[in-house]
Amino acid sequence: MPFEFKRAPLDGLWIIKPKRYSDKRGYFEECYQSEVFAGQGISEPFVQDNQSYSQKGAIRGLHFQKPPYAQAKLVRAVTGKILDVVIDIRSTSKTFGNHFSIELGEADGEMLYLPEGFAHGFAVLSNEALVHYKTSRYYNPEAEGGIIWNDPDLEIDWKTEDPCLSNKDAQLPSFKALVESCSPS
């Protein structure tokens, strides 16, 4: 089996480690096989690949796409190391409102799969990082949403002392405000 699949603490998340073949030249690994992933219940067709380059301390997120444009993602750090963070925003989920974080990096090639219904972000822990992720739906600017990175109710430890954010990410709402805006009156 070219991949090792481990369930993460939040419902629907998978930590995936590709088998790495190393020799004196470096290494080779397969990053994705639709049949193998489907055997684990990950069967969304991935339609878009995204890549970002960021410097140490950069925080990107926490972002999501609202239905019907919600995206499943398969995330990996190609170079460097990141703290990848997800929040379950599925109101009917038993892990609703909980977050999970994992360090992803080039050293072991682990990836994180998150189904639709999660806010996602990451902080760069190394001097720089190249992050690549697949999405199950195309990005739609009208459907984008987010949660502020330093939400006091979520208490996420980003493991960075000097965070660098975009102006847009620095003004995202709290998780509580997001939930209240979606609740029926």
**Residue 120: is its pLDDT beyond 60?**
yes
**pLDDT at residue 185, as a whole number:** 47
Cβ neighbours around 161 below 10 Å, total: 7
Q: Is 56 exposed, middle or buried (0-12, 13-18, 19+ CB in 10 A)?
A: middle
**Residue 155: is its pLDDT beyond 60?**
yes
Contact yes or no for 136/79 (Cβ under 8 A): no
As a whole number, mean pLDDT of residues 138-153 equals: 96
**pLDDT at residue 181, as a whole number:** 80
Q: Quote the strand ranges of 89-127, DSSP E.
A: 99-105, 111-114, 118-124
Mean pLDDT of the chain: 95
**pLDDT at residue 113, as a whole number:** 98
Task: Tell me which H or E stretch contains 175.
Answer: helix 175-182
Contact yes or no for 130/87 (Cβ under 8 A): no
% of the chain at pLDDT higher than 70: 98
As a whole number, mean pLDDT of residues 64-81 equals: 97
Please choose, from the candidates 12, 7, 149, 14, the residue with its C-alpha nearest in 3D space to the C-alpha of residue 70. Answer: 12
% of the chain at pLDDT higher than 90: 93
As a whole number, mean pLDDT of residues 102-129 equals: 97
Cβ neighbours around 14 below 10 Å, total: 19
- Please tell me what DSSP assigns to residue 148: -
164: domain range?
Answer: 3-182
**Residue 184: is its pLDDT beyond 90?**
no
CATH number at residue 8: 2.60.120.10
**Residue 180: is its pLDDT beyond 60?**
yes
Tokens encoding 101: 């974080």
Report the predicted TM-score, pTM, of the whole model to 2 decimal places. Answer: 0.94
Which residues are designated catalytic?
63, 133
Number of domains in the chain: 1
Tokens encoding 31: 């990053």
**pLDDT at residue 178, as a whole number:** 87
**Residue 1: is its pLDDT beyond 90?**
no
As a whole number, mean pLDDT of residues 50-75 equals: 97
Q: What DSSP string runs through 48-94?
A: EEEEEEEETTBEEEEEEE-TTS---EEEEEEESEEEEEEEE--TTST
